[in-house]
Amino acid sequence: VQVLRSKKIELPKKLAKRYPAYELYLYGEGSYAEEHKVLPLTGIPVLFLPGNAGSYKQVRSVGSIALRKAEDIDFKYHFDFFSVNFNEELVALYGGSLQKQTKFVHECIKTILKLYKGQEFAPKSVAIIGHSMGGLVARALLTLKNFKQDLINLLVTQATPHVAPVMPLDRFITDFYMTVNNYWILNARQINLTTLSVAGGFRDYQVRSGLTFLPKLSHHTSALSVVSSAVPKTWVSTDHLSIVWCKQLQLTTIRAFFDLIDADTKQITQNPKKKLSVLNHHFIRHPAKHFEENPSIISDLTGI
């Protein structure tokens, strides 16, 4: 039996004072958790953002699968999964905390990258997985004044209502949505963040699939939107919470993450074409074989 030992990351005093209700954790279990009691870290950072009333512990499903996969390849590569504790705030019912959460996540990213200081293959950016409103908070990072877009190399959102709030109960929520979506539409040419949105499908009664589709403009091709029941090797619809622990979907996500690793930098590739190609392979087409960057033509049908 593996023992779970999520390590609480010590935040700078000023930051802890400014956000007393929020925390940052590094997910760990078994021998991996023991080894990573001592910093600096050596893996590839991924940050999980929970949604409305969500727990930082929801990172366990995807983190555990990533750890098993790393063990299979003798830790040639491995991911370090971080998770933010938003104190289970009800941000879908009251939007007043959304801006505060966004600013805290920005500080968390900078804190995470400092944990790799001095390493040969130190990362310069993090991948983000956002569940529900956590995915919207991740997109809102780009609207912050001092935020550098290249701090995020990939964004995966699960059951996130991107288009509009499920229940527009106050002006804070509607204003937040307007700010985020207007920014992404007006700055589409400058945004080169590869983004994947996964919807739960018909079983998700809380967030219907139509709300999860990212605004895809003709010149903005780095955004993909899928429904879980159409994802190869998943083929199931999930309810709003189970999308976080659906094994088929998390396996697909982790397979994609490992295929995104650049062998030279030992981090997620910076090549946007390769990122889209990998996500297309695992979440849309999947020809029942391993991902190949330059697949060979099996048969050339000429003269037909």
165-175: buried (b, 16+ CB within 10 Å) or exposed (e) per residue? bbeeeeeebee
* Tokens representing residue 140 in the block: 């809102």
Q: What angle do CA 66, 24, 40 make, to 5 degrees?
A: 65
40 preceded by cis ω (within 30°)? yes
d(CA 31, CA 29): 7
* CA distances to 9, 16, 109, 111, 302 from 13, in Å: 12, 5, 16, 12, 68
Enzyme catalytic residues? 132
Cβ burial, residue 90 (10 Å; 0-12/13-18/19+): exposed
* CA distances to 84, 106, 132, 149 from 179, in Å: 23, 17, 18, 17
d(CA 304, CA 204): 47
- The residue written with tokens 């499908």 in the block is 201
Residues in Cβ contact with 228 at an 8 Å cutoff, skipping those fewer than 6 apart:
198, 199, 200, 201, 234, 236, 237, 238, 243, 246, 249
Nearest to 58 by CA among 94, 35, 27: 27
* CA distances to 140, 198, 204 from 237, in Å: 27, 11, 8
